[in-house]
Structure 1
Amino acid sequence: MATQKLYAGAKLREIRARLALTQKSFADKLGVSLPYLNQMENNHRPVSASVVLALAQEFGLDVTELTVGESERLVSDMREALADPVFAATSPPLADLRLAASNAPALARAFLDLHRAYRQTHERLASLDEALGREDASLRPSPWEEVRDFFHYCDNYIDAVDRAAEHFATPGGAPQDITRTAITALERRGITVTFTDQPETRRYDPATKRLTLSNRTAGPTQRFQLLLQVALLTQNELIEATLDLARFATPEARDIAKIGLANYFAGAALLPYRAFQAAALQTRHDLERLADLFGASIEQVAHRLSTLQRPGAKGIPFFFVRVDQAGTITKRHSATRLQFARFGGACPLWNVHRAFESPGQFLRQLAETPDGVKYLCLSRDVSKPGGAFLAPVKRYAIGLGCEVQHAPQLVYADGLDLKGHFEPIGISCRICERPACHQRSVPPLERRLKVDPDRRGLLPYEIAE
C-alpha cells in the first residue's frame, strides 16, 4: 500500500513564525533550498522524510504536530457539513478538502461558520412559534458552540493556563496538599472557606468574602469547585488576557469561556501536568489508580488524559467523550484522528452507549472507523448523586480511547487480541460510508439509493456503489 504523502505547509509556516526565522534561515537549518521550502510551505511539495528528521533534530519538534491536529479536524468537520442536503449537487473530493484545510484553514473555518449560521437559521424557521413577536429574533451564533470550538481547535490544551495551574499545585516541583494550598491562597486574600449542608455545590459572596462549599458533594467535586474559585479570584488577569486573544464574537461566549478556562485551571491544578503524566505512565493509564492517587473522579482523570498535549512532552493521543442517556454528546475532545459528530449523537455501535447497561464496570472495545483506523475504546457509566434522597441524580457515560498502536501502554489492553476482530463504528449515520450497517438510522447523504419493493434486506433500501 502506498504511503500517504504529508502536506503540512500551514504548519511549517506556523513553526517558522514561532521561531522568528526568515525563509532563508529556516531552509538552511533544514538543509533544503529556499525554493524547495517555499514549495513545501505552499503545499506544492510534500514534506520529505529528511525535513521531518531535521525538524526533530534541530528544533526538538514533536513530529506528530505535522500529522495530527487542526487540519484533520477541519477535514472531518467540512465533510460533515458538506453532507447536508443543501450541498446535494456539490461533492468536493477528499483531496480538495485536505488542500483547503492545509492551505487555507481560515477559509475552511469561515465556511464552517457560515454553514452553522445556515443551520441555525433553518432551525429557527422550523420553530417560528418561538421567534414570533420577539424583537431579538435575529440570528446569532451559538455562544456555547463558539466556546466549544475554541477549545476544540486548541487541542483542549491552553499552555499558559496549564503551566500556571501546575506551578500553583506543585511550587518548586514538589506536590502539595491541594485542598490546603487552595484554602491558604484564598485566606491570603481575606476569603473565608466554609463547608455546609447547602444544596448548591458552590456559592461565593463577594460582599462578605465568604466561599461556601456543599458537604453533599463528593470529595473530588469539592476540590474541583474550590480550585475553580481559586482560578476566578487569583488568575483573573491571565484568564482575561487569554480571552482577549480568543476574540469571541459575543459577550455571552466570552462569559462562558471564562468559566471554561477556570474549569481548565481547576482540572490542571488537581492533576498537574508532569506529575500526572508520570503517574499515568507508571500505572499504565489505570483510571481507578490515578483517581485514588490524586483524589479525583474517574471522569476528571479521563478528561485530563485527553489534554496531555504540551509541546515537547505530549502524552498518548486520546479521545474523550461524555454522553447522556439519550445518546447526546455533552463533552467531546479528540487528540486522535477520530472526530465526533458536531450535531446529533454518536454511532450506536460504539460501546459508550452500552455503559449504562453495566454500571460500575469498564467496557472494552476494539473498533475500526470507516477510514481504516483502529482504536482501543474504553467506556464506563458515571453517576453524580445529588447528596439527598429527593435530589436528582445525573447519569452519564464516558468514553476514552486511543489508536491501537498505543494500546500496549494501557492496562486495559491486557488479554485482548490486538490483531483480531475490530467492530465497525462510524461518526454519524449521515456521513458513514458503510453500505450494510444493521444499526443505520438514516441513509448516507453522499450516496445514491436503490429501492426495490420486492426485496428487503437489512435496510429498506440499498446504497449504490
Structure 2
Amino acid sequence: MAIGKLYIGRKIRELRDAHKSTQSKFAERIGISTSYLNQIENNQRPVSASVLVALAEKFEINISELSSGEGDRLLSALSEALNDPIFDNLNMTAQELKLVSQSAPNMAHALIRAHQGFRRNSEQLASLSDSLGRSASLAETTPFEEVRDFFHFVDNYIHALDIEAEKLSQELQLENSDRRYTQLCQFLEQKHQIQVVSDKDSGEILRQFDPLTSTLRMNPYAAPSTRDFQLGLQIAQVHASELIENIAKNANFRTQEAFEICKIGLQNYFAGALLLPYTFFHSTAAELRHDLELLSVRFGASLEQVCHRLSTLQRPGLKGVPVFFARVDRAGNITKRHSAARLQFARFGSACPLWNVHEAFETHDRIIRQLAETPDGARYLCLATQISKGTGGFSRPQQRYALAFGCEISYAHTFIYSDDLDLSARASFTPIGVSCRICERTQCPQRAVPPLMQKIQVDHNSRATLPYSIAKS
C-alpha cells in the first residue's frame, strides 16, 4: 500500500527541540532552507523522501517512528467520530483529517472526547428516560475510558517504568522462571520486610496485603503465572510507588477515580516489565519467531501476559514488530486492546463478526490463524485463541475470553504461524472490517447493522441475506 504525503511538523519540531537546535542550524544540518523547515513544522508542506533520509542519517532515527504511532491512532479515532451521522454534511477529506490530527492533536482529542460524551448521553437518554435526574454528568468520559485512552495514545509503552522494571529484573536475575517465585518472595521480605504467606481460605482473592502486619496473603490455587504476576504487582506498589505516582499525576486526569485506575494500570505494567524484561524478551521473541506458546513456557507466563507484553515493545531504538492485541469476551465486548499496527479497534460496538477471534470460543486449546484484509486494502496475519481465568476448583467461576493478536502482512515472515500460508494469493484473505457501524463493505452477509454514513435501499419484491441493500456512495 502506497504511503501518502507525510505532514509530521509536530514530530520534527519535537526532534529539533530535543537537540536544542535553532531552525537555521537544524535546517542546515539536514540540507534544506530555513523557510522550508518552517513550512514543514507548521504542516504547510509535507516531508519529502530526501528529508526523511537526511533525518535518519543525521539523527539516527527510524523513519517508521516518524510516520506512524500516535498520529495513526489519533487519526483513526477522529475518523470514526466524524463518521457519526451528526457530522453528515461536513464531508472532511482524509487529508483534512490528517492535518487536524497532526497539527492540532489537542483539538482532535477534545473533539473525540466530546463525541464520546454525546454518544453516551444519547444511549442513556434512550435507555434511562425515567431516571435521568439521578445522573449528574451523563456526557462525561468514564474514568476507565480516560485511562484506556491514556495508555492508547502513549503507544502502550511507559519508558521510565519499563527501564526501572528491567533494572530490577536484572538485579534479581529473574530470567530463570523456575526460581522466580522464591526470588520475588525473598526480595519482598529482605528489602521491604513483607512476609508472603499462603492462604487456602482466600476464595477468589488472588492477593491480599495487610499494611499493619506487612503480610501478603497469596492464593495457593492460582496459576503460577498469575501468582508471580501478583507478586510483581506488590513489588510495583512498594518499590516504584513514587515513580508511578508521578506518571499518573502528569497525565492530568480529571477525576480521582481515573487517577487511581491509572495507578493500577501502571502497577500492572511494571509487573509485566519485571517478569518479561524488555531487552531479553525482545530478543527471545525474535529468536522464537513469536511462537506464543514457546514464549509462554520460556518466561513462565500466560499467553495473555505474552501477547500484552509484545504489544508494549515500543522502546525507541529497539522496537519490536508492530502488533495488535485485544481481549474479547463471549458477548463480543473488547475488554482490552492496543494496536501499534494500522488496524485500529472500534471505540464503540462489537468487533467484526468475520474476524477469527469469535471462532476461538469454539476451538479450545488451539491457536487459530486467519489472513484478513480491511476495507482500506491493508492485510494482516490474525491469530486467536481462547483462555480461561480463575482460581481453580469445580465450584469456582471461570472467566473465558478470546485473545486476538497479529501483525500487518509485511511482518508475517517474523511469525512462525505464517510458514505454510499463501500470503500472495488474494483469495487467501478474508474481507473484514472494524465494526459494522463504520464498515464500508456493501456486500457483507454478516452485517449486523447498516453503516452510519451510507443510505440503505429496500426492495419489497426481492430479498437477499439482508432485508436491505446499501447504496453505493
Is the shorter-chain TM-score for this pair beyond 0.5, marking a shared fold? yes
Distance 1:178 1:51, change over 3 A: farther
Structure 2 match to 1:21: 21
Counterpart pick for 2:281 among 270, 276, 297: 276
Q: Is the 8 A contact 1:169 1:269 kept in 2?
A: yes
Give aligned pairs, total: 465
Q: Is the 8 A contact 2:116 2:139 kept in 1?
A: no
Structure 2 match to 1:394: 399
Structure 2 match to 1:155: 155
Q: CA deviation at 1:174?
A: 8.1
Partner SS, residue 36 of structure 1: helix
Structure 2 match to 1:453: 460
Q: CA deviation at 1:172?
A: 9.3
Q: CA deviation at 1:133?
A: 5.5
Counterpart pick for 2:181 among 166, 179, 182: 179
Q: Distance in 2 between matches of 1:327 and 1:138?
A: 24
Q: CA deviation at 1:118?
A: 1.4
Q: CA deviation at 1:130?
A: 7.4
Structure 2 match to 1:194: 197
Distance 1:288 1:129, change over 3 A: same
Q: Distance in 2 between matches of 1:249 and 1:16?
A: 31
7-16 or 362-371, larger mean C-alpha shift: 7-16
Q: Give the AA of the match of 1:185.
A: F
11-20 or 319-328, larger mean C-alpha shift: 11-20
Distance 1:2 1:257, change over 3 A: closer
TM-score (norm 2): 0.95
Structure 1 match to 2:378: 373
Structure 1 match to 2:325: 320
Q: Distance in 1 between matches of 2:115 and 2:21?
A: 37
Distance 1:99 1:204, change over 3 A: same
Root-mean-square deviation (Å): 1.7
Structure 1 match to 2:43: 43
Counterpart pick for 1:384 among 381, 389, 398: 389
Distance 1:209 1:361, change over 3 A: same
Q: Deviations over 1:224-275 (max 9, x none)?
A: 0000010011111000110121111100000000000000000111100000
Structure 2 match to 1:11: 11
Q: Distance in 2 between matches of 1:36 and 1:322?
A: 45
Partner SS, residue 316 of structure 2: coil
Structure 2 match to 1:347: 352
391-400 or 44-53, larger mean C-alpha shift: 44-53
Q: Distance in 1 between matches of 2:347 and 2:444?
A: 21
Q: Distance in 2 between matches of 1:55 and 1:93?
A: 29
Distance 1:135 1:298, change over 3 A: closer
Structure 2 match to 1:94: 94
Q: Give the AA of the match of 1:183.
A: C
Distance 1:2 1:237, change over 3 A: closer
Residue 304 (structure 2) pairs with residue 299 (structure 1): yes
Q: CA deviation at 1:388?
A: 1.7
Q: Give the AA of the match of 1:52.
A: L
Q: Give the AA of the match of 1:179.
A: Y
Structure 2 match to 1:141: 141
Q: Distance in 1 between matches of 2:2 and 2:440?
A: 22
Q: Distance in 1 between matches of 2:222 and 2:405?
A: 24
Q: Is the 8 A contact 2:174 2:180 kept in 1?
A: no
Residue 464 (structure 2) pairs with residue 462 (structure 1): no
Unaligned runs of 5+ residues in structure 2 are none
Distance 1:320 1:148, change over 3 A: same
Counterpart pick for 2:435 among 425, 428, 437: 428
Residue 260 (structure 2) pairs with residue 258 (structure 1): no
Structure 2 match to 1:66: 66
Q: CA deviation at 1:400?
A: 0.6
Q: CA deviation at 1:382?
A: 0.6
Q: Is the 8 A contact 1:131 1:137 kept in 2?
A: no
131-140 or 395-404, larger mean C-alpha shift: 131-140
Q: CA deviation at 1:22?
A: 1.9
Distance 1:160 1:206, change over 3 A: same
Structure 2 match to 1:338: 343
Q: Distance in 1 between matches of 2:135 and 2:447?
A: 41
Q: Distance in 2 between matches of 1:172 and 1:229?
A: 15
Distance 1:47 1:374, change over 3 A: same
Q: CA deviation at 1:141?
A: 2.4
Q: CA deviation at 1:126?
A: 2.5
Partner SS, residue 50 of structure 2: helix
Structure 1 match to 2:168: 168
Distance 1:455 1:4, change over 3 A: same
Q: CA deviation at 1:194?
A: 1.1
Q: CA deviation at 1:139?
A: 4.6
Q: Distance in 2 between matches of 1:74 and 1:125?
A: 28
Unaligned runs of 5+ residues in structure 1 are none
Q: Distance in 1 between matches of 2:163 and 2:3?
A: 37
Instruction: Report percent identity of matched pairs.
Output: 51
